[in-house]
Amino acid sequence: MGLNYYHIKKNILRARKLVIKSTSVAGSGHPGGSFSMAEILGCLFYKHLKFDPSNPSWENRDRLVLSKGHASPGLFSNMAVAGYFPESELDTLRKFGSRLQGHPDLKCPGVEFCGGSLGTGLSYSIGVALAAKIDNKDHHVYTIIGDGESDEGQIWEAAMTASKYKLDNLTAFLDRNFIQQDSYTEQVMPLDEELVGDDISEMWKDASRWKTGDKWRSFGWNVLEIDGHRIEQISAAIEKANTTKGVPTIIICRTIKGNAVEHMEDNPQWHGKAPDLDIVPLINLELDSQFMIAPSIIAGDMTNLANEVKRCINGRADYIHLDVMDGQFVPAKTFDHNKIKELRSITPIPFDSHLMISEPVKHVRDYAEAGSDIITVHAEVCDESSFGEIHDLLKQHQVSVGLAINPETDLPEWSYKFLPTLDQLIVMSVVPGKSGQKYIPETHKKMSSLSPILKEHNFIGYVEADGGVTLENVGSCFEDGARAFVGGSSMIGQNNVREAIREFRHEILRARRKVLLEKAHQLGGSDLVNKWIGLHVVGKKKEKITKIAKETGLI
């Protein structure tokens, strides 16, 4: 089975928007801590957790305990997306008589633990896990704890107890976002090293300063340390934890408080603060504007693709683009599913297999079983019937489904019925199968003209720009509506892939900031523009966004 990458990603986005809506309506709540654990909850709810919303007390369900209970908006939003109750009920968050309190409450079906005082959730989870062992039950207990509550002595008493009783049916996640209620964790009670100043990127990026894992190892736990916003790393860690016997596992997730909303990120102010209603449309637009970068490895050394994959890993690519060419649909020939299977063991980073082949319906199963996480086929070699067969097979294998159109091809009408469940649409900006081409300028107009069609037919997937994408045009591609960007010679063709990807991120981020400023001006003139800018207080963001606003005449 595949990672179910886009399915997880789209539900995480949906849940994040519900967090913003519910906390803004309530006028209070904790969006920052809800967003730092968003990907953790997404991987659990939409990939690994055994549960039944129609039967919340199902005996064989896995148990999910939110020890950092103030982040209940994140839990409730995912429960709504998963079907426990209508999304509209989130409008009652933190209201008298509501099932959705400021902390999780057992009056809400599906909630396993009343999260009041911090530091108690792990002890409770140990009781549940130990009871399951005694009763010979095979369900798993997953517990999310905060780094702020790890100041509590009870956390460490619980850690010793879980190790003593060899609770391998217990997996804890430490949401390591470095911020607690009053300040940065490393300035209050360091779990790693003491932080001098406010630049917590020092702690996040410098592995030599990470001491938390050593503490948990000394208490007898199996410790896994990951990027807590990488879906594939979280999923792989859960799989490892579930197969580890004789000891409990803790997955230390390096996260960012308020992740996905720039002014909330790494900002202690957003530990427990709701966004104003006039800001909500801008936040939703920003959430819709999350982007991904995928290097195309065929632009590298075709005789050593394993090394090109490793360069993508080092470059921190969001996923890896695999151009499969058969020499029939396109003149060139690259590799097939056997090579993908060979490369798959190198990394859990999602593989985006772009099949430029004839009769893909005959071969798509091979690419799914080889380890592709996203598979895109071309509209030119499909019709409604064959694409329907491909679509259903990939969904059954938990592989994300993509459709590609060449520069001279319009989106076929038969595809409209698939748009609500389509995960990715590739709009080719070069003629496929020929190297060294420049971006076809007419693609800008084509991509923009697709937006109303996609909106009309409820497309909630990602538009991918593929072919001739460079630092000079990537900002325009973003403004056209692309949210995933494939780079060949402009990324893999560079000596320093990480630096190339970093430069692409900077250019796309600049374009996104410009779009958000224009939207702010449209909604509320210069007053809302200045209010939006004023929210960005961490680092040099305010200075950079102000510069864009002045350059575009918005202030």
Per the model's pLDDT, the better-predicted residue between 272 and 366 turns out to be 366
Six token digits for residue 87: 């999304």
Q: Do residues 367 and 356 touch, judged by C-beta distance below 8 A? A: no
Return the pLDDT at 230.
98
Q: Give residue 426's pLDDT band: very low, low, confident or very high (50, 70, 90).
A: very high
Six token digits for residue 309: 């994959």
Q: How many whole angstroms separate alpha carbon 519 and alpha carbon 364?
A: 41
Q: Do residues 399 and 436 touch, judged by C-beta distance below 8 A? A: no
Residue type, 78: N
DSSP code, position 198: S
pTM of the model: 0.97
pLDDT tens column, 281-297: 999 999 999 999 999 99
Lowest mean pLDDT of 195-204, 480-489, 535-544, name the range: 195-204
Whether residue 158 has pLDDT greater than 90 = yes
Residues in the chain: 555
Q: Do residues 443 and 479 touch, judged by C-beta distance below 8 A? A: no
Instruction: Give the distance from CA 89 to its chain's centroid.
Output: 25
Whether residue 182 has pLDDT greater than 90 = no
Q: Give residue 326's pLDDT band: very low, low, confident or very high (50, 70, 90).
A: very high
Q: How many whole angstroms separate alpha carbon 400 and alpha carbon 462?
A: 11
Return the pLDDT at 147.
95
pLDDT tens column, 210-256: 999 999 999 999 999 999 999 999 999 999 999 999 999 999 999 99
Going by C-alpha positions, the residue among 520, 506, 532, 28 that lies closest to residue 264 is 532
pLDDT over 70, % of the chain:
100
pLDDT tens column, 442-458: 999 999 999 999 999 99
Whether residue 434 has pLDDT greater than 80 = no
Return the pLDDT at 195.
80
DSSP code, position 216: H
Domain range 291-494, CATH class? alpha beta
Return the pLDDT at 209.
86
**Please, is 452 exposed, middle or buried when counting C-beta atoms within 10 Å of its C-beta (0-12, 13-18, 19+)?**
exposed
Q: Any idea where the domains of the chain sit in the sequence? A: 5-275, 291-494, 495-555
Give 534's contacts (C-beta < 8 A, 6+ positions apart).
542
Q: Give residue 202's pLDDT band: very low, low, confident or very high (50, 70, 90).
A: confident
Whether residue 375 has pLDDT greater than 90 = yes
Q: Give residue 208's pLDDT band: very low, low, confident or very high (50, 70, 90).
A: confident
Return the pLDDT at 433.
80
Look over the chain and give the mean of its residue pLDDT values, rounded to a whole number: 96
Whether residue 116 has pLDDT greater than 80 = no
Whether residue 36 has pLDDT greater than 90 = yes
What residues are paired with 353 via a beta bridge? 322, 375
Question: Which SS3 state, helix, strand or coil, does residue 181 take?
Answer: coil
Whether residue 201 has pLDDT greater than 80 = no
Whether residue 516 has pLDDT greater than 90 = yes
Q: Give residue 312's pLDDT band: very low, low, confident or very high (50, 70, 90).
A: very high
Return the pLDDT at 176.
96
pLDDT tens column, 519-535: 999 999 999 999 999 99
Task: Please report the beta strands in 40-117, taking only residues with DSSP state E, as ranges in sequence order.
Answer: 63-66
Return the pLDDT at 437.
85
Q: In what order do the strands lie in the sheet with 170-176?
A: 63-66, 141-146, 170-176, 249-254, 222-227
pLDDT tens column, 2-33: 899 999 999 999 999 999 999 999 999 999 99
Q: Give residue 206's pLDDT band: very low, low, confident or very high (50, 70, 90).
A: confident
Six token digits for residue 212: 């938390």
- Architecture of the domain spanning 5-275: 3-Layer(aba) Sandwich (3.40)
CA distances from 178 to 212, 272, 434, 529 (A): 12, 15, 47, 30
Rg (CA), the chain: 24
Whether residue 436 has pLDDT greater than 80 = no
Q: Do residues 162 and 180 touch, judged by C-beta distance below 8 A? A: no
Express the helix, strand and coil content of the chain in percent, nearest 5 each: 45, 15, 40
DSSP code, position 330: S
Return the pLDDT at 259.
98
Q: Which residue has the tokens 């549940």?
A: 128
